[in-house]
Amino acid sequence: MNDLLKQSLHQKTPIEMIYMKKNGDCTKRKMIVHRQSEQLIQAYCLSKKTMRTFRKDCILALAPIRFTKPSAHAVS
């Protein structure tokens, strides 16, 4: 998990996260990490278009965002 956070921080690459809020609701976020401490992450949330702070202990999963090439058969 820490490797993906560091990669996003240093390379400014977006990552996807599944996060459990205090009330138990789970959300899926796409973000770019701007700062991190031992317990917190400050990141730009691409869906909310604003800076957000997340607790590391509430992160359920992290994954790199894979961009796919458009199909040659796609209709415009």
Domain boundaries, the chain: 2-64
| Cβ atoms 31, 46 nearer than 8 A | yes
At 3-61, the pLDDT tens digits run: 899 999 999 999 999 999 999 999 999 999 999 999 999 999 998 999 999 999 999 99
Q: Is the pLDDT of residue 72 over 90?
A: no
Helix (H) or strand (E) holding 31: strand 26-36
Helix (H) or strand (E) holding 6: helix 2-11
Model pLDDT, residue 66: 76
Phi, psi of 65 (to 5 degrees): -90, 125
Q: Is the pLDDT of residue 69 over 90?
A: no
Fold of the domain spanning 2-64: SH3 type barrels. (2.30.30)
Banded model confidence at residue 68, pLDDT cuts 50, 70, 90:
low
Model pLDDT, residue 27: 94
